[in-house]
């Protein structure tokens, strides 16, 4: 995000169609109620809350078992892409509140349409989200957005998936620790870079983040940053539907997002998979709020020295 880009537009996307369970549709308002707008204004940003895109989260009984609710999800992702592109056209920084991670298709489509080129992606997640309807073991679309948005499923018949919005060679997944075998093979073939939780332990989060920024923004490519709260260890984050042991801690995520903000490479940001119905003591929402504020410029103690 360029320093001159002080105007933020909040876009709520209360979707749970891609996750196989309800609760993530409560995420956008949970973040609002936690004081998101006030805190963003406190760090010097001008904030416009555009409200939520209306989503009917009732399952589509006609959908295929290996791509549940796909057509319905893409209908709403199309609306999200239009809102993201519109915000950027008006020099507003898109802050997208999810919602399950199928939202990333719409976010990437909006940035790509605005920039008229494929995006780079820095994607914090316990999972790689690079399955397709051919490789999935669950049929849940929130495990597919990076593959679908980068053109790995062209035979779907869905118009929105006939275009690739992200360059797979500029996609970087950070914090992954649950990747399916066929998914991993597809990622390797496409050229996606994955830094696992073990890589972070060995190399340190700053080194990993630095590499991610260079890969995703190579050649001046616009960059979308996406955070699934399950990237953090479930010892701290209870309010998410697909927890995986061995995750990052909050201070690592804050450092990573602070480094990304300082780089100026980020053009849009989303926070996904906050499920308040599973939360304890509102801790997941509090962490999601802190990560969002850090990504948009809240300074840490270290940066004030």
Of 183, 228, 233, 270, the catalytic one is 228
Q: From the candidates 25, 77, 129, 180, which is the catalytic residue?
A: 129
Return the axis-axis angle of helices 205-216 and 250-263, rounded to nearest 10°.
40
Residue 228 host element (H or E): strand 223-228
- Is 155 one of the annotated active-site residues of the chain? no
Q: Is the peptide bond before 201 cis (omega within 30 degrees of 0)?
A: no
CA distance 128 to 122: 11
> Catalytic site residue 230?
yes
Taking a C-beta distance cutoff of 8 angstroms, is the pair 107, 94 a contact? yes
Distance of CA 16 to the CA centre of its chain: 14
Q: Which two tokens stand for residue 177?
A: 């620790």
Q: Please give the angle made by the CA atoms of 186, 172 and 222, to the nearest 5 degrees.
A: 115
Catalytic residue among 125, 180, 233, 270: 125
Q: Catalytic: which of 25, 77, 101, 261?
A: 101
The yes-or-no answer on residue 228 being catalytic is yes
CB 57 within 8 A of CB 21: no
143, exposed or middle or buried, with CB in 10 Å at 0-12, 13-18, 19+? buried
**Please, what sign has the CA dihedral across residues 50, 224, 269, 262?**
negative
Which of the following is catalytic: 113, 127, 224, 270?
127
* Catalytic hit among 25, 77, 233, 273: 273
Task: Indicate if the alpha-carbon torsion angle 197, 225, 112, 15 is positive or negative.
Answer: positive
- 101 a catalytic residue: yes
Of the candidates 52, 77, 142, 252, the residue annotated as catalytic is 142
Q: Say which of 230, 252, 270, 279 is annotated catalytic.
A: 230
Closest of 43, 97, 46 to residue 298, by C-alpha: 43
125 is a catalytic site residue: yes
**Tokens 């073991």, located at residue:** 137
SS3 state at 95: strand
The answer to whether 36 touches 10, Cβ cutoff 8 Å, is yes
Catalytically active residues, by annotation = 101, 125, 127, 129, 142, 228, 230, 273
């Amino acid at each position: 995000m360029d320093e001159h880009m002080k105007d933020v537009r909040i876009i709520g996307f209360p979707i749970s169609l891609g996750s196989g369970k309800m609760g993530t549709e409560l995420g956008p308002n949970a973040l609002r109620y936690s004081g998101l707008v006030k805190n963003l204004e406190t760090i010097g940003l001008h904030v416009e809350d555009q409200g939520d895109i209306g989503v009917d989260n009732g399952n589509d009984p006609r959908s295929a078992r290996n791509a549940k609710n796909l057509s319905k999800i893409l209908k709403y992702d199309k609306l999200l892409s239009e809102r993201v592109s519109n915000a950027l056209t008006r020099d507003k920084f898109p802050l997208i509140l999810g919602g399950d991670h199928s939202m990333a298709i719409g976010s990437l489509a909006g940035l790509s349409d605005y920039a008229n080129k494929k995006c780079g992606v820095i994607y914090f997640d316990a999972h790689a989200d690079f399955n397709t309807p051919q490789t999935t073991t669950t049929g849940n679309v929130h495990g597919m957005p990076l593959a679908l948005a980068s053109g790995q499923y062209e035979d779907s018949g869905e118009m929105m998936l006939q275009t690739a919005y992200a360059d797979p060679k500029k996609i970087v997944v950070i914090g992954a620790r649950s990747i399916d075998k066929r998914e991993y093979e597809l990622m390797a073939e496409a050229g996606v870079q994955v830094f696992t939780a073990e890589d972070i332990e060995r190399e340190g989060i700053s080194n990993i983040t630095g590499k991610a920024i260079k890969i995703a923004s190579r050649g001046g490519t616009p960059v979308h940053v996406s955070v699934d709260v399950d990237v953090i260890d479930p010892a701290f984050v209870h309010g998410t539907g697909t927890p995986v042991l061995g995750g990052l801690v909050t201070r690592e995520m804050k450092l990573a997002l602070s480094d990304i903000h300082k780089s100026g490479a980020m053009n849009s940001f989303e926070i996904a998979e906050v499920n308040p119905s599973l939360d304890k003591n509102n801790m997941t929402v509090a962490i999601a709020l802190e990560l969002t504020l850090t990504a948009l410029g809240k300074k840490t103690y270290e940066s004030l020295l």
